[in-house]
Amino acid sequence: MPSIAGGLFSAGRGISWLRLRRLQRPLLSSLSAGGGSDAPHLPVVIVGAGPVGLALSFLLAKFGIKCTVLERSMEFTRHPRAHFINNRTMEIFRKFDGLAGDIERAQPPVDLWRKFIYCTSLSGSILGSVDHMKQEDFDKVVSPISVAHFSQYKLVDLLLKKLDGVGFQTCFPDELGGSSAQDLLLENKILMGHECSSIELTDDGILVGASFNNGGRMQERKLHCGLLLGADGARSKVRELAGISMKGERDLQQLVSVHFVSRDLGKYLSSERPGMLFFIFNPDAIGVLVAHDLEHGEFVLQVPFYPPQQMFEDFSAKVCEQIIVKLVGWEPADIQVLDIKPWAMHAEVAEKYVGCDNRVILVGDAAHRFPPAGGFGMNTGVQDAHNLAWKLCLLLNGIADPSIIQTYESERKPVRFFLHAFCSFNVNISATNILK
């Protein structure tokens, strides 16, 4: 059996300059105590192939760290959530083999999304209109790259292409066979349809249980790894299994998210009142419309609802269409509701980002969940990944002490104080803008 140090060192083939400077001392002392018989075969397992898990896999691959990604779904969701990419994330994406440029070229023209509009209906009175772009954004005073407006699912598609370029493969249970596939065969793979369902601390690492459906039969694959990174979203199973609780305010608002297309509506808004976000209030309906792509008529409508008087089940496609018409103010002939999902708004942060003796690390929504006002969730998650990846690289190559992982928590956790205040400010400012 290889030692944990041997197993983990072999992860870092891409950075020989680091290996030359490797320290002559036990790696990950807190992980290697005990000398158990089952040494980890995989340096890193990431749970969750959302934007944050994928960004982290890419960065680790660039550093030569082999990892395996577990994704419980069999397909990547097409329901758009995030769309606003801030300067810092775009700066990070410049290092993703041209991803920032790909986004800039593929996003809608900026004049179609630079405004927030407050109105009684999409064809009714405008109560307020705010242009969120400033000349310094175009002049690149604050940052060498501008913010972007690009649907989350399209970003995930581009991240998958970048991962393909660094040798990652997406695999399905029927391509991998039974539960006994060798760990090494799972390196640099995204295992679709694999749900992380258990973790067990061993003397040498973590034994991760992933359940999957193999031809109608549920099976469990065991992966032994040195580090487990929880990028599994707001209801993180990894966080739960590691016994890490959330602190903050829960269930601030229940919402229904309606993904729909209407080229008629896109054409109308492009010519009459182009914008990114429309806050719509009238006696018959309220909602926030996110214009993901006016040129293609792609929208997401957020409608608040109030249990127990209203339940998610009340929002059939027909009901959603009726709400859309009330908010538009006329009846587009071509509305097609693609998907309806419930979600709850929280303002919470994990009590710690690192647990289980430095072996489990939370990133993205698994570590924090913000109200969407301001568009910070995914941005903060990608920035978490960027902060963490190089530290893992130094740790796994024996350059840094395990205490470097604590700097991830101490640097990233304070960000949430600022962001929670900023999100609340954004929610309030939305209300005051109406009065302007």
Ligand X SMILES: Cc1cc2nc3c(=O)[nH]c(=O)nc-3n(C[C@H](O)[C@H](O)[C@H](O)COP(=O)(O)OP(=O)(O)OC[C@H]3O[C@@H](n4cnc5c(N)ncnc54)[C@H](O)[C@@H]3O)c2cc1C
| Nearest partner of 386 among 187, 5, 89, 102, judged by Cα | 89
User: How far apart are CB 211 and ligand X at their closest, in Å?
Assistant: 9
- With CB under 6 A as the contact rule, which of the stretches 4-12, 104-112, 219-227, 229-237 interacts with ligand X? 229-237
User: How far apart are CB 256 and ligand X at their closest, in Å?
Assistant: 11
Q: Identify the H or E element spanning 391.
A: helix 377-396
112 contacts ligand X (rule: CB under 6 A): no
81 contacts ligand X (rule: CB under 6 A): yes
275 contacts ligand X (rule: CB under 6 A): no
Comparing CB distances to ligand X, the nearer of 123 and 179 is 179
305 contacts ligand X (rule: CB under 6 A): no
Residues in the chain: 436
Structure tokens at 172: 């399905």
User: How far apart are CB 152 and ligand X at their closest, in Å?
Assistant: 6
Alpha carbons within 13 angstroms on the beta-carbon side of residue 279 total: 18
Taking the C-alpha atoms of residue 66 and residue 84, their distance in angstroms, rounded to an integer, is: 30
| Nearest partner of 232 among 375, 362, 85, 353, judged by Cα | 362
Render 12-59 in DSSP notation, one character per residue: -TT-HHHHHT--SS-TTHHHHTT--SS--SEEEEEE--SHHHHHHHHH
| Radius of gyration, CA atoms only, the chain | 23
Comparing CB distances to ligand X, the nearer of 372 and 398 is 372
293 contacts ligand X (rule: CB under 6 A): no
- With CB under 6 A as the contact rule, which of the stretches 262-270, 308-316, 350-358, 370-378 interacts with ligand X? 370-378
DSSP 3: -
48 contacts ligand X (rule: CB under 6 A): yes
262 contacts ligand X (rule: CB under 6 A): no
- With CB under 6 A as the contact rule, which of the stretches 18-26, 47-55, 306-314, 418-426 interacts with ligand X? 47-55
158 contacts ligand X (rule: CB under 6 A): no
Taking the C-alpha atoms of residue 218 and residue 213, their distance in angstroms, rounded to an integer, is: 4
User: How far apart are CB 155 and ligand X at their closest, in Å?
Assistant: 10
231 contacts ligand X (rule: CB under 6 A): yes
Residue 206 φ then ψ, to 5°: -135, 135
Comparing CB distances to ligand X, the nearer of 21 and 161 is 161
379 contacts ligand X (rule: CB under 6 A): yes
Alpha carbons within 13 angstroms on the beta-carbon side of residue 408 total: 31
In this structure, are residues 90 and 143 in contact, taking their beta carbons and an 8 Å threshold? Answer: yes
- Interface with ligand X (CB under 6 A), residue from 57, 377, 383, 412: 377
Comparing CB distances to ligand X, the nearer of 65 and 301 is 301
- With CB under 6 A as the contact rule, which of the stretches 201-209, 228-236, 346-354, 387-395 interacts with ligand X? 228-236
- Interface with ligand X (CB under 6 A), residue from 18, 39, 44, 47: 47
383 contacts ligand X (rule: CB under 6 A): no
381 contacts ligand X (rule: CB under 6 A): yes
- Counting other chains too, the contacts that 280-284 makes at CB distance below 8 Å and 24 or more residues apart are 280/119, 280/120, 280/121, 280/122, 280/327, 281/118, 281/119, 281/120, 281/127, 281/434, 282/120, 282/121, 282/124, 282/326, 282/327, 284/326
- Interface with ligand X (CB under 6 A), residue from 151, 302, 383, 397: 302
- Interface with ligand X (CB under 6 A), residue from 7, 40, 50, 193: 50
298 contacts ligand X (rule: CB under 6 A): no
Residues at the site binding ligand X, with contacts judged by CB under 6 A = 47-53, 70-73, 81-84, 152, 195-196, 231-233, 237, 257, 302, 343, 364-365, 372, 375-379, 381
